[in-house]
Amino acid sequence: MSDSVQVAHDRAQRPLRRIAAAMSTQRKRLSGAALLGFVASASAVALLATSGWLISFAAEMPPVLALGVAAVLVRAFALSRSVFRYAERLLGHDSAFRALTTLRVAIYQRLELLAPVGLARFSRGDLLARLVADIDTAMDLPLRVILPWAQAVLVSLATVAFVLWLDIGAGIAIAMALAIGVLVVPALIAAIARRAQARLAPLRGELSSGVVTALFASPDLLAYGATGQALTRIDSVDAQLMQVARRESAGLGVGAGIGVLMQGAAVVVALALTMPAITSGQLAPVWLAVVALVPLAAYDLVTTLPASAMALQRVRASSKRITEVLDAPLPVSDPVHPSGAALAPYGVRCTQLKARWREDGPFTLRSIDITIEPGERVAIVGPSGAGKSTLAAVLLKFLQYEGTATVGGREIADLAGDDLRAHVTMLTQDAHIFDTTIAANLRLGRAQATDNELTSVLERVKLESWLQSQPHGLHTELGSRGATMSGGERQRLALARLLLADRPVMVLDEPTEHLDPLTADALTTDLLRVTEGISTLLITHRLRGLDHVDRIHVLVAGEISATGSHDELIAQGGWYAEQWQRESDHLNLAGLMSSIPPGTAISRR
């Protein structure tokens, strides 16, 4: 094997080995299940062999007592086959589910480190397929690959040893037939289906991604008449998936056909080689039935191996997709020896701060100097794409950075992420509302909060009347992504959750985005009211209400272009003054239009 071929082979095997290593904690249980399965399978072979011997010997009409041992063995093997098979299934599935739990926890721990920036490389539906379908497929490794092969090899060896004891020629013939069934046929089926199997997992992820995207985007698709295009794309992927499934079924059919042919050939050849020993008197005639039935029983087990070969290909493809998640580069990592927690009073200071979303990409922030003294409220404003959200990601330790960024006097890079986020929290422009009750959503901020505390914090964000209108109060279900709430209500609920967390530093990243002007103004006013005395960074491109913050920085193209109060920035001119004028003109126009009576005709000149 050449070096390039060996390297390619090692790369293909590495994901599978890593998945197997992740499940190695259940090695003893799997070994026990394999042993139980061997006993069950060996009992099935012994049952058929003993039955054949008993029937043949009974045809000679011996004394009844001479048949007693064989009759007892038939009953014993029949019972042991069922009992040990049940025990093997119980122990095997228990160990597989335990191993799957270990693997799933490892995946979720990695996702926690990747979120939120590192998950952008995966679409929502594709990530869902990796977390559900691919990890579930990994369970086939112990159940449908390791255990069947282990049992087939052990039973085949025991069967061949027994037949060799009876007749060497028949034993060699059965050994060759079983070797072909254990080694050659599964390898042939795997080669036939390998290309199809390599496409199965990606297509499954693509189909899941298309369905999930279409469901979440259904309002927009309906509004623009693009539903047909989305469904056509899903149908196309589904057709490709069905084609792959047909190829898999064809491979299984070929394997089953070859297995039946080999089983028949083994019986015929074994009989042909045993007949001379029978006719010469070297072997008692009663053993002829045993030689004929043993390969039939042994091959019943071997015929399951083509399906195991198919399962191995599925596991290999899924393990590659799982390891892509496990190996995804972390956007930021914790230090080996993190420093202590941030110190009170909790201020924020950034000096010559630079950051970018990709290592090979351009810097989104360039030489930023920002200071938030303890208890100050500072606003960062600027056009879309100026780098405002990049700054928020740095302060939450979601991104690597260059320069200096401290919270409570501690360098962010030297802090563990969990320690930092115990002091810094963020409200995003699209805060997630979970499909559960109001109380459960709020208790994400503080799990031990009482119902009275939940009601109190809802009053602080002016949701008391909304709460009173809910049919079950705090125990009302909110639906997927807060489907029963308006945009402003969702943001206020997220703000209440933020206040329950009681962090000394808050980052508010475009909290009024996607809201109408009146709702946005009201929310901005309440945000500034409830954050008084808290070190707060308000990131926004809307300027109304900013006359109440301590300081405003204008961020344009990744750099601070101006700093001052609202009035000072208006006087300086530039982007801030122009944006303020646009907002004022927009509000004036909206007020004028609302004052025109309905049905009034407006002439054009």
Distances (CA, A) of 83 to 77, 91, 160: 10, 12, 25
CATH 1.20.1560.10 residue spans of the chain: 7-326
pLDDT reading at 11 higher than 60: no
Read off the tokens for 343: 């110190």
The DSSP H or E segment spanning 555 is strand 551-556
Rounded CA gap, 313 and 265, in Å? 28
3-state SS class at 407: strand
Rounded CA gap, 502 and 505, in Å? 9
What confidence tens digit (pLDDT) does each residue in 394-411 have?
999 888 899 999 998 889
Rounded CA gap, 373 and 132, in Å? 46
What confidence tens digit (pLDDT) does each residue in 294-324 have?
888 888 888 888 888 888 888 888 888 888 8
Rounded CA gap, 521 and 566, in Å? 16
CA dihedral 31, 33, 37, 40 (to 10 degrees): 120
Rounded CA gap, 214 and 212, in Å? 5
Higher pLDDT, 553 or 245: 553
Domain 348-595, CATH number (from 3.30.420.40, 3.40.50.300, 3.30.43.10, 2.30.42.10): 3.40.50.300
Higher pLDDT, 270 or 82: 82
In sequence order, the 6+-apart residues with CB closer than 8 A to the CB of 474 are 437, 438, 439, 442, 451, 454, 455, 467
Instruction: State what percent of residues in the chain have pLDDT above 70.
Output: 93
Tell me what the pLDDT averaged over the chain comes to.
Answer: 84
Rounded CA gap, 378 and 549, in Å? 6
Q: Could you count the other beta carbons within 10 Å of the beta carbon of residue 74?
A: 18
pLDDT reading at 515 higher than 80: no
Sign of CA dihedral 364, 383, 213, 483: positive
Rounded CA gap, 45 and 178, in Å? 14
What residues are paired with 378 via a beta bridge? 537, 551
| pLDDT attached to residue 4 | 43
In sequence order, the 6+-apart residues with CB closer than 8 A to the CB of 512 are 429, 491, 519, 520, 523, 524, 540, 542
Q: pLDDT tier at 6 (50, 70, 90 boundaries)? A: very low
3-state SS class at 549: coil
Q: pLDDT tier at 9 (50, 70, 90 boundaries)? A: very low
pLDDT reading at 126 higher than 80: no
**Angle subtended at Cα 15 by Cα 11 and Cα 16, rounded to the nearest 5 degrees:** 110
Rounded CA gap, 386 and 363, in Å? 11
- For the chain, how many helices (H) and strands (E)? 22, 10
Rounded CA gap, 135 and 15, in Å? 13
Q: Give 399: exposed, middle or buried? Use CB within 10 Å, 0-12, 13-18, 19+.
A: buried
What residues are paired with 424 via a beta bridge? 505
**CA count, 13 A, side-chain hemisphere, 39:** 16
pLDDT reading at 70 higher than 80: yes
Q: Which residue type sits at 34?
A: A
Alpha helices (H) in 462-574, listed in sequence order: 464-468, 487-501, 517-530, 566-572
Rounded CA gap, 517 and 456, in Å? 27
Rounded CA gap, 145 and 315, in Å? 9
CATH 3.40.50.300 residue spans of the chain: 348-595
Q: Is 1.20.1560.10 the CATH classification of the domain at 7-326? A: yes
3-state SS class at 432: coil
pLDDT reading at 582 higher than 70: yes
pLDDT reading at 16 higher than 50: yes
